[in-house]
Structure 1
Amino acid sequence: MNLINKKVTHESFGMGSIVEHNDSIVEIHFASENKKFVYPDVFGKHLKLHDESVANALEKMIQEKEIERKEEEWKKEEEKKRQVKNQELRLEHAKLMKNHKLHPESQMVFWCDNEEQNLSFSEWKVFSGEVKSGKNKGNPNKPIRMHQNSAVLLTAVDAGMPESDRRILGVYMVHEDFIGKLSEDGYIPAHSKYRLQLTEQESDQMLFWDYYLNAKSPEKMTWKTGKYRYFDNLWMAQILRDIVSLKSDSQERELVQQFFDHFCKMNQIVDEELPEPNGALKRM
């Protein structure tokens, strides 16, 4: 907006003419001297334009700037609230981490169909499903046992094959910041480093029921309902140890060994004291 040479009246200095202005300053020539004022704040409070059409346009611009200012203040306040909330969440997270006690069965085995196999290894996460009944029906399940010491085992059984042929496809530690109790969407994301997918040949050598045992029915190998179940920390350690032995490539073997060492450390497992697998298949 060009205001040069526009006539104005100031409440203290009288009539004058605008000689210069930019986005922040307006300079006005009065009878005795030139004065500089904050632009556009001075208008509407202390200074009045004689040109009514220009005055109306300027007032509209000032109103728009005031709306922008209030929106900016609102954004800053919302950001402040968000930061406070994040701080509270971090404190809650730190408290849960500090007070966490190891559960002996804080590992998860997941049943993957064909679509889920692709999703699991492309996005490295699984969905724990929805609550089937009660007041929380339809909400995502909270994997409450899952914590920093937890790993997710991905398994599948080919169509038409018996449950005893369930193969291990891969495994990952949960994400470094994941706490099942705080999960809202039901997704369990993978650790940034400790994750692996077996080759088809490796998977054929890793049968799930070599490790898993239903204590109530040790002779049975059945998976009736549900996409996942929790299982023993020691069983997951046995699986990781056996995957290490599968690897012939030294670099791959070292990566899996690091995974195994990390898992044992997080679950307070001593490698030398780890028993041999004794799952349902081993008992036949």
Structure 2
Amino acid sequence: MNLINKKVTHKRFGTGSIVEHNDSIIEIHFASESKKFVYPDVFGEHLKIHDQSVAHSLEEIIQKREMARQEEEWKKEEEKKLQRKKHELRLEHEKLMKNHKLHPESQMVFWCDTEEQNSSLTEWKVFSGEIKSGNNKGKPNKPIRLHQNSAVLLTSIDSGMPEKERRILGVYMVNEEFIGKLCEDGNIPAHSKYKLQLTEQESDQLLFWQYYVNEKSPEKMTWNTGKYRYFDNMWMAQILRDIASFKSDQEQELAQQFFEHFCRMNQIIPQELQKPNGALMRNLA
């Protein structure tokens, strides 16, 4: 907008004409002197322009700038609120970390259906499923036992095969920042480093029921409902030890590091680990 030579009236300096302006400064020549002002802020309360059509255009510019300023202030306030919320969550996270006590069964075994067999090993996360009844029906299950010491075992069973043939597909430690009690979406992501996929041949060697047993019915190998179960920390250590024993090259090194890291996180002495004694082993005895 060209404002050069437009007549204006200032509350204090009287009538004058605009001699120069840009996006931030306007210069006005009055009877005895020239003055510079902030543009367009000076218009409105302190300065009036005589040309009504220009005055209307200036009013629109000022309104738009005011709206932009208010929006910027709103964004800053929302950012402050977000930072406060993050700070509160971080304090809660640190408190949970500090006060966390190891649960003897803080590992998860997950039942992968056909679609999940691929997605869980490419995306390296699983979904804990939804609550089936009650006031929270439809909301994601919170995997409350899972913590930084927890690992997730991925398993599947081929169609038509008995439950005792359930195979282990892979395993991962939960993400370094993961705390089950704070998990709102039901997604359980993997650790940045400790995650292992088994080949088909390796899976055939590693059957889940070699390690797992329902102590209430030790002779039974059944999994009728639910996407996951919690199970013993020692059993997961046995599984990781055995995976490390048949992996080779770089994968063997990672598997060994995974096993050692898991034992440290779960206060397990590797040398004291027993041989697997799951339901499958007991039925063979």
TM class by smaller structure: over 0.9
> After superposition, where does 1:89-100 map in structure 2 within 5 Å?
89-100=89-100
Counterpart CA distance in 2 for 1:219 and 1:44 is: 87
In structure 1, the partner of 2:167 is: 167
In structure 1, the partner of 2:44 is: 44
TM-align CA RMSD: 0.7
Matched, 1:263 2:262: yes
Residue 123 of structure 1, CA deviation: 1.0
In structure 2, the partner of 1:137 is: 137
Residue 248 of structure 1, CA deviation: 2.5
> After superposition, where does 1:1-284 map in structure 2 within 5 Å?
1-249=1-249, 251-284=250-283
Counterpart CA distance in 1 for 2:85 and 2:157 is: 44
Aligned residues: 283
Residues 246-267 of structure 1 show CA distances to partners (whole Å, capped at 9, x for unaligned) of: 1132x21111111111100000
Residue 122 of structure 1, CA deviation: 1.5
SS at match of 1:204: helix
Residues 257-283 of structure 1 show CA distances to partners (whole Å, capped at 9, x for unaligned) of: 111111000000000011111011111
Residues 109-158 of structure 1 show CA distances to partners (whole Å, capped at 9, x for unaligned) of: 00001101111012111011111111111111010000000000000010
SS at match of 1:171: strand
Residues 95-120 of structure 1 show CA distances to partners (whole Å, capped at 9, x for unaligned) of: 00000000000000000011011110
Residue 48 of structure 1, CA deviation: 0.6
Residues 206-240 of structure 1 show CA distances to partners (whole Å, capped at 9, x for unaligned) of: 01010001101111111111110000000000000
Amino acid at match of 2:278: G
Amino acid at match of 1:117: Q
Amino acid at match of 2:6: K
Residues 170-202 of structure 1 show CA distances to partners (whole Å, capped at 9, x for unaligned) of: 000001111111111111111111111101111
| Structure 2 residues without counterparts, runs of 5 or longer | none
SS at match of 1:9: strand
Counterpart CA distance in 1 for 2:158 and 2:175 is: 29
SS at match of 1:80: helix
Higher mean C-alpha displacement, 230-239 vs 123-132: 123-132
Residue 52 of structure 1, CA deviation: 0.5
Amino acid at match of 1:53: S
Amino acid at match of 2:272: E
Counterpart CA distance in 2 for 1:243 and 1:262 is: 14
| Structure 1 residues without counterparts, runs of 5 or longer | none
Amino acid at match of 2:162: P
Counterpart CA distance in 1 for 2:156 and 2:124 is: 16
Counterpart CA distance in 1 for 2:196 and 2:4 is: 71
Amino acid at match of 2:110: F
Counterpart CA distance in 2 for 1:108 and 1:248 is: 26
Residues 18-48 of structure 1 show CA distances to partners (whole Å, capped at 9, x for unaligned) of: 0111111100011111110111111011111
Normalised to the residue count of structure 2, the TM-score between the two structures is 0.98
